[in-house]
Amino acid sequence: MENLFAFVIGGLYATALFMMLRRSIVKLVIGLMILSNAANLLIL
């Protein structure tokens, strides 16, 4: 179960970084929201 949780968090971080590298401001904001959710899950 911990391995699955680690892969999900890693996937969220990768998705957030990919979204933040796009040129659109909307995708930047969505990437920041995903990044904050991933950080909260990592702390949990």
pLDDT at 22: 87
Confidence of residue 44 (pLDDT cuts 50, 70, 90): confident
Q: What is the DSSP string of 1-44?
A: -HHHHHHHHHHHHHHHHHHHTSS-HHHHHHHHHHHHHHHHHHH-
Confidence of residue 1 (pLDDT cuts 50, 70, 90): confident
- Predicted model pTM: 0.85
The 10s digit of each residue's pLDDT in 2-43 is 899 999 999 999 999 999 998 899 999 999 999 999 999 999
pLDDT at 23: 87
